[in-house]
Chain A
Amino acid sequence: MARSKQQSQEIRVGDHVEFSGDTQDYILTEPDKVYRGKVIGKDKGQLLVRLETPVTRGQGQFHEATVLESRVRAAAKKK
């Protein structure tokens, strides 16, 4: 079966990515929301993403979050 273009894309450090939230997450919990950010680190299926918009959990604000690489897609760079 042919793999989709999205699945075959390799995400690199510096790429801009977007992904939906997931209730099975600690920080990016809203499944109806699309989170966007820049990949600043990568390690075996995990991406460290600097979020365009910080996310609040409890009374804490988070500027970065770890995301499974399989959850993200490349996003157009902001001009």
Chain B
Amino acid sequence: MASLIVRKNVDNLNAAELQALRTGYTKAQAIRDNRGYNYFAGLHGIPNWYCWHHDRTQGSTVNANLFLPWHRAYLLFFERAIRDQSPADPKVGLPWWDWTSTTSHNSGVPKAFSAVTVLGKANPLYRAHISAPTANPPINRNTRRFPGDPSELPTRADVNDLLDISQYDDFSSQLEDIHDQIHGWTGGNNGQVGGDMGFLATAAWDPIFWSHHCMIDRLWYLWQQRHGVNNIPSSLQSMVLNPFSKTVRDVLSINALGYEYAVNLMRL
């Protein structure tokens, strides 16, 4: 049996792991077909709008709380696409951004994502190019990011309170509120335009989107450890997470999906 992919805190990646991740992102960002970064980013908002937020997705009248399972499937397929372009060794999974950490509360966006260049080359975790020719109007530019005051980020206590909630719908809803806050904080604005993370239509192009959602997925996993892996309304379990060939039931166990989360030394 293949070993599990280990997802780590981005601040805990060593130099070789971070370089492997950057290689994967750089190569994926250069691919224009359905193996590439632009394709996966375009599944979320513009131009395909498959994402589920606040009980809803476009193109369906069904209301269902699929925010967490849909994004888990989304990250899984994105991670596979990045790993396909990364060196086999070291084996790196998507890293999470712990926006509750002391480092984030002091410095904001982790250096892995905020450095404009690395060793004289463009940092693929800093920004990506949005190519959405079918959007109205078409979009063809680099992502923008204007993060806010680091002291405004959620705290570890906020997250611990969340993990104490025993009912899935309440947990998901309150986690989504914090998730929304991080999107708005990270995107920010410069007084003339807003950053992409704050704008659902283009958020998934910002490379930090994936690590923000990795943190959200990890928090769901930690909640599942406390309150049960299958603790989700049965009415949701057979629902299909389009466009992925997965149902909600298929994504409840992260080990069954082939990955796990490293134990954080500053464990929540």
Contact = CB atoms under 8 A, between A and B. Distances in A.
Interface of A: 23-27, 29, 40-41, 43-46, 48, 57-60, 62, 64-66, 68, 70
Q: How large is the interface on B (under 10, 10 to 19, 20 to 34, 35 or more residues)?
A: 35 or more
B139 interface: yes
Given A44-B139, A48-B189, A68 B201 contact: yes
Contacts of B158: 58-59
A46 B193 CA distance: 8
Interface of B: 45, 49, 51, 53-58, 135-139, 141, 148, 152, 154, 158, 177-185, 187, 189, 191-194, 198-201, 203
A70 B135 CA distance: 12
Contacts of A40: 191-192
B177 A45 contact: no
A41 B199 contact: no
Contact of B198 (A27, A58, A68): A27
B53 A24 contact: yes
B194 A23 contact: no
Contact of A26 (B57, B136, B138, B184): B184
Nearest to A61: B152
30 contacts: A24-B49, A24-B51, A24-B53, A24-B54, A24-B57, A25-B200, A26-B198, A26-B199, A29-B53, A29-B54, A41-B189, A41-B193, A43-B192, A44-B139, A45-B135, A46-B194, A48-B193, A57-B181, A57-B184, A58-B177, A58-B180, A59-B158, A59-B178, A59-B181, A60-B148, A60-B181, A60-B185, A66-B194, A66-B199, A68-B201
A58 B193 contact: no
A45 B136 contact: yes
Nearest to A55: B184
B181 A48 contact: no
Nearest to B136: A45
A57 B192 CA distance: 22
B189 A26 contact: no
A48 B198 CA distance: 11
A32 to B, nearest CB: 12
Contact of A48 (B53, B179, B180, B192): B192
Contacts of A25: 53, 200
Contacts of B203: 26
A26 B182 CA distance: 9
Given A24-B45, A48-B193, A60-B148, 13 more contacts: A23-B56, A24-B53, A26-B180, A27-B183, A43-B193, A45-B135, A46-B193, A48-B192, A57-B180, A58-B179, A58-B180, A60-B185, A64-B194
A25 B199 CA distance: 7
A66 B154 contact: no
A64 B181 contact: no
A31 to B, nearest CB: 9
A27 B185 CA distance: 10
Contacts of B185: 60
Contacts of A45: 135-137, 139
B99 to A, nearest CB: 11
B56 to A, nearest CB: 4
